[in-house]
Amino acid sequence: MEKLLVAICSTPNIEVASALSTSILESRLAACVSQLPGVRSQYWWKDTLETAEEVVLMIKTTSAQVDQLKSHIQENHPYETPELLFIPVESALDGYAQWVRAEVR
């Protein structure tokens, strides 16, 4: 049985977040993508401390989609080095877990 994962991906604005969410879902790489606007990120980029307002995506998927989702983000994300982190789900409601597994392909 495939493990459930939540992938975290930051995007520069709501337009990019919506387009990326739609393309991920239409490709069946996730069952659900939540868009969290208004995130303030601070990070080092090329020896400069940066601050940005971003929209973070929480992508609900399975371990079977990791490689395809990585490729999809690299091909469709505007950032030179996009953030894409996979967090294992230790536990979930049975019905939700079944739904996620049924929707991704």
| CATH fold for the domain made of 4-103 | Alpha-Beta Plaits (3.30.70)
DSSP state of 105: -
Q: What is the pLDDT of residues 7-58, one digit of tens each?
A: 999 999 999 999 999 999 999 999 999 999 999 999 999 999 999 999 999 9
- Every domain of the chain and the residues it spans: 4-103
1, pLDDT greater than 90: no
Q: How many CB atoms lie within 10 A of CB 27?
A: 15
- Rounded to 5 degrees, φ, ψ at 22 are -60, -45
105, pLDDT greater than 90: no
Cα 17 from Cα 34, distance rounded (Å) = 9
- Rounded to 5 degrees, φ, ψ at 17 are -60, -45
The pTM of this model reads 0.95
- Tokens, residue 55: 């929209």
Contact (Cβ atoms closer than 8 angstroms) between residue 19 and residue 30: no
